[in-house]
Chain A
Amino acid sequence: MELFHNLVFGFSVALTWQNLWFCFVGCFLGTLIGVLPGIGPLATIAMLLPITFNVPPVAALIMLAGIYYGAQYGGSTTAILVNLPGETSAVVTCLDGYQMARQGRAGPALAIAAIGSFFAGTVCTLIIALFGPPLAELALKFGAPEYFSLMLMGLVAAAVLAHGDIIKSFSMVAMGLLLGIVGTDVNSGMARYSFGIPELTDGIGFIVIAVGVFAVGEIIQNLGDPEERKIFTNKVTGLMPTKEDLKRSMGPIIRGTGIGAFFGVLPGTGPAIASFSSYMVEKKLAKDPSRFGKGAIEGVAGPESANNADAQCKFIPTLTLGIPASAVMALMLGALTIQGIAPGPQVMTQKPDLFWGLVASMWIGNLMLVILNLPLIGMWVMLLKVPYRLLFPAIMAFSCIGIYSVNNSSMELYLTALFGLIGFMWMKLDCPPAPMLLGFVLGPLMEENLRRALLISRGDPSVFVTRPISLGFMIATVLIIVVMVLPAVKARRGEITG
């Protein structure tokens, strides 16, 4: 009954005009950037983060969350209609979604993607409401060793599940951790890696790295290798899926939601992994796997549910434990910090309106997204026709204004230019930037907790394996590594993430 009470309270917060408006703005922006290839939720949220300072905390978080899960909806539209993933998580949707569009069934493909996402969103809203409070209670028992082990697990998961060579991903994690050190050491007050530049004693801003690598670097990359955009379907007619479609999709949607929720709770993984896994599962379970890649609706329904479930369940570790489960989630916590709210398990009890309002807004947002994405699909198709040469200067303009507004100083802009170059180099050398970003975010937290843990244990490292919760995270970390270096899994990993 408490759950019911809490949800009613959440809806009473989310249904105010102001919060509804910000939820709509978030979902709209999310769909927009989801549809447009070349700009993702990470860069967008990073750009908008500084300006959320002027907005009340609940509204700010509702809007930023809307951008994140809205992008998962929008990403599928581009995948189905243009055979280009609007977001990385929609890569698999291209396989069967585009084939369906070529067979004149773009409407049902879009509809099933939206229905699956909506189902996943509804289920995950309930999951967060159900498991959030007990998890937060558990998290209150966490000490420094538990936090360190948990973050270690997240970093290992992020490195292992990134594409390419595992050692290269681990190096990128180390790179992120090193970048995170830049600035004043909390314990000794010593400025590290600051090169005597006063702005650097506060550390490099997360937003600077995120926008530098994922907006500027990405544009440099895209201008070197222009992608071809061919819109196959000019007009989407007949949105309604047939009875047969719905029957085929039911299983994949339910399984995809489960897979997405599982990966969502696991720190360090992104929605792409969830959708890939769901696709693989559906292909394995199908009576006739040869249909996959030729327009099987299961190949759209499963992954699209999975990526939305993942995006929403990522809020569970983030809000209950106070540690960012992914780079985007780090921005959400950043938004809290800007508002003067310390992230952590206490948020739920001290700011119940924030937690429950956000949870309720997610369900409302999902409903808005179905409406935004289905009846209004024509608008997005038109938007897809905007050529890239007009798009990227606009992205640059928003990026620069966003970066400048962080500290009202141009130093951040110079650093962004530098990270644009570095990010481009990383992409060319096939060094995945996503694990770097998580390392960067978690670096200072990890160092802090490592020091504290060893101080409590008087320098005895066994503290990480003698405390039961910490031991559990350590075992999970080892398992992730062991499983991934097994030859059979290694081959499969190449297939999935390659």
Chain B
Amino acid sequence: MKFDWRNNRDFFAGIMYISTGSAGWWIARDYPFGSALRMGPGYFPIVLSALMILFGIYVLLLGVRNNEKIQGNWSIRALIVLPLSTVIFGILMEEAGFIPAMAALIPISAAAGKEFKWGEVILLTIGLTIACAAGFIYGLGLPYPLIKGMWGY
């Protein structure tokens, strides 16, 4: 079979390992290496990075030989929306409080899926926000203001 790099699973896995190892080596190059007797902080990282690069080359060659393809579908939408919803939750927790953070997180993350029904999502948001506030803030005593700037917080 002729080598084809597109969608080649192990080829890309190899590249990922080699680049991780190289980056690890590059950053750790200034850490004192030490000796086997007295290992410096650079010893373990450099040895591991070297190992990663070696493994990476093997996996890359494996990909050149077996041409295995990456399986399954991608959801670009989920790939962008889900991490984004996590980040927005983080920002709102610091800036606006628990209720706004939940009210943003749930609809946004729900929008990562293919089916999105407004009615359902609104009910889910209200239900989960109340349940989580009751369980985590009142039940377990986590010290988060429901809405920042209200009730003396």
Contact = CB atoms under 8 A, between A and B. Distances in A.
Contact of B82 (A216, A389, A414): A216
A206 B97 CA distance: 25
Interface in B25-77: 27-28, 31-32, 35-41, 44-45, 48-49, 51-52, 55-56, 58-59, 62, 68, 70-75, 77
Contacts of A51: 136, 140, 142
Given A223-B75, A414-B87, A416-B86, A174 B142 contact: no
B87 A397 contact: no
Nearest to B40: A188
Given A175-B20, A410-B90, A454-B36, A401 B136 contact: yes
A477 B55 CA distance: 19
Contact of B55 (A167, A219, A404): A167
Nearest to A439: B48
Contacts of B84: 417
Contact of A178 (B49, B77, B101): B49
B141 to A, nearest CB: 6
Contacts of B32: 188, 190
Contacts of B126: none
A202 B152 CA distance: 33
Interface size class for chain B?
35 or more
B15 to A, nearest CB: 10
Interface in B104-153: 105-107, 109-110, 112-116, 120-121, 124, 128, 132, 136, 140-143
Nearest to B28: A192
A418 interface: yes
Given A185-B41, A418-B83, A420-B83, A397 B90 contact: no
Interface stretch (A266-274, A368-376, A421-429): A421-429
Contacts of B128: 393-394, 397
A397 B102 contact: yes
A420 to B, nearest CB: 5
Contacts of B115: 389
A171 interface: yes
B59 A181 contact: no
Contacts of A431: 13, 16
A459 interface: yes
A490 B12 CA distance: 24
A447 B77 CA distance: 40
B94 interface: yes
Among B49, B85, B114, the most chain A Cβ lie within 10 Å of the Cβ of B85
A442 B1 CA distance: 41
Contacts of A174: 48, 51-52, 55
A236 interface: no
Interface in A413-461: 413-414, 416-418, 420-421, 424-425, 428-431, 447, 450-451, 454-455, 458-459, 461
B87 A171 contact: no
Interface string A163-182: 00101101100110110010
A417 B86 contact: yes
A459 B78 contact: no
A425 B55 contact: no
Interface residues of A, number: 65
A171 B55 contact: yes
A392 B110 CA distance: 7
B59 A165 contact: yes
B13 A424 contact: no
A220 interface: yes
A429 B7 CA distance: 10
A187 interface: yes
B24 interface: yes
Contact of B86 (A175, A400, A458): A400
Given A181-B44, A397-B128, A171 B17 contact: yes
A167 B114 CA distance: 36
B114 to A, nearest CB: 8
A475 interface: no
Given A223-B113, A417-B84, A459-B36, A394 B124 contact: yes
B30 to A, nearest CB: 10
Nearest to A451: B39
A197 interface: no
Nearest to A444: B44
Contacts of B17: 171, 175
A181 B43 CA distance: 11
A399 B86 CA distance: 9
A379 interface: no
A171 B12 CA distance: 14
Contacts of A167: 55, 58-59, 62
Please name the 5 residue pairs, one residue from A and one from B, whose CB atoms are nearest each other, closest first.
A410-B90, A459-B37, A413-B90, A417-B83, A223-B78
Given A188-B32, A220-B75, A430-B13, 14 more contacts: A51-B140, A165-B10, A187-B41, A188-B41, A216-B86, A223-B82, A392-B112, A397-B109, A416-B86, A428-B74, A429-B70, A451-B39, A454-B37, A458-B37
8 contacts: A171-B59, A193-B27, A220-B82, A413-B87, A429-B13, A430-B71, A454-B36, A459-B35
Interface of A: 51, 54, 165, 167-168, 170-171, 174-175, 177-178, 181, 185, 187-188, 190, 192-193, 216, 219-221, 223-226, 388-390, 392-394, 396-401, 404-405, 408, 410-414, 416-418, 420-421, 424-425, 428-431, 447, 450-451, 454-455, 458-459, 461
